[in-house]
């Protein structure tokens, strides 16, 4: 069994923020694969259902981003899932808009949600990094990740989610499959 984790901040006032792209991908998978309604648990929400005829658990930590590890740790213990069977979807400032990369293990790259997960669960989980770019002015990083997407970016998000979903089986089950620096803009889907 695999644990698919979307990172974000809980609450409607954060739902359209750049930092919540991980939540949006998990919500998209939840809808497209017709998973059961979300169940609330301590520090996370979850839904269990099949992808490619195997059961997976979708989770969204219910803590703020900086404490995401609490929800991931609770879910991994409850469902008895080890670190190597966790796939995390998250925003990444170090990737330009429209770039997706899969990474296995390694550091947190300054991402506070990943820092929390790594500190509590370990670093050997997989992740799908979703490029949101950096602010091109003197706007602070914190303000940037907590701001909404531009109208143009927002119109492209369904294509990003579709692209990730179309590769989800390989992302989850094929250890040799790597999305490595795919610029979805060059794939003519943005």
Catalytic residue among 19, 30, 90, 111: 19
Alpha carbons 166 and 176: distance in angstroms, whole number: 17
Token pair, residue 6, equals 């979307």
Where helices occur in the chain by DSSP H, the ranges are 21-32, 68-78, 112-121, 141-145, 151-166, 168-173
Which helix H or strand E contains 48, and what residues bound it?
strand 44-51
β-pair type (86-92, 2-6): parallel
Alpha carbons 110 and 16: distance in angstroms, whole number: 21
Whether residue 30 lies in the annotated active site: no
**What residues are labeled active site?**
19
């Amino acid at each position: 069994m695999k644990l698919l984790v979307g990172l974000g901040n809980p609450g409607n006032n954060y739902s359209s923020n750049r930092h919540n792209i991980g939540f949006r991908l998990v919500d998209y998978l939840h809808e497209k694969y017709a998973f059961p309604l979300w169940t609330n648990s301590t520090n996370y929400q979850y839904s269990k259902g099949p992808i490619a005829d195997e059961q997976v658990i979708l989770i969204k930590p219910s803590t703020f981003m900086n404490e995401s590890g609490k929800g991931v740790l609770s879910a991994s213990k409850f469902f008895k899932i080890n670190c190597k069977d966790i796939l995390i979807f998250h925003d990444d400032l170090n990737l330009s808009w429209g770039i997706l990369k899969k990474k296995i293990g390694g550091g947190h790259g300054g991402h506070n949600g990943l820092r929390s997960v790594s500190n509590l669960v370990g670093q050997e989980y997989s992740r799908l990094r979703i490029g949101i770019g950096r602010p091109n002015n003197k706007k602070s990083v914190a303000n940037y990740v907590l701001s909404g997407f531009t109208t143009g970016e927002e119109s492209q998000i369904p294509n990003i989610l579709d692209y990730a979903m179309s590769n989800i089986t390989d992302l989850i089950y094929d250890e040799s499959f790597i999305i490595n620096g795919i610029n979805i803009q060059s794939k003519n889907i943005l």
